[in-house]
Amino acid sequence: MIGIDTNILVRLITRDDEKQTQVALDYLSNSSTPFVINHIVICELIWVLESAYKYDKKQIIKALECILKVKQFLILEKSSVRSALKVYAETSVDFSDALIGYVNKEASCEFTITFDKATSKTSIYKLL
């Protein structure tokens, strides 16, 4: 397995640098090994797409859904990522906050405590 850093995904999604995009595509397509994408990379990807590229939520959701469908990509804690993406799509909760809650839930936490009122409206958080 080979890990993928955020900047590789940014190139593949935005195609803002033709040379780097092609290098990434060539590498990925010429390899039969799975590529690991951890949830920190996904959080960082969303932040970059929002802040640097001004992608809106709909564009980000579409990009993440595409990433989740690539068979060669092994998404760590994929069920938590999918659950967090659903919350992100349907509420005002940030993806990273939703993911924290679902990762904690998978680790057998009853809930996650927070001071964030919006985040606490999900069933995986409790407002202090």
Query: What range does the domain containing 64 cover?
Result: 1-76
Based on the fold, state whether residues 69 and 23 are members of the same structural domain. Answer: yes
Based on the fold, state whether residues 92 and 61 are members of the same structural domain. Answer: no
Tens digits of residue pLDDT in 91-126: 999 999 999 999 999 999 999 999 999 888 888 999
Distance CA 73, CA 28 (A): 10
Based on the fold, state whether residues 44 and 8 are members of the same structural domain. Answer: yes
Tens digits of residue pLDDT in 41-75: 999 999 999 999 999 999 999 999 999 999 999 99
Based on the fold, state whether residues 64 and 122 are members of the same structural domain. Answer: no
Number of domains comprising the chain: 2
Its pTM stands at 0.89
Based on the fold, state whether residues 69 and 83 are members of the same structural domain. Answer: no
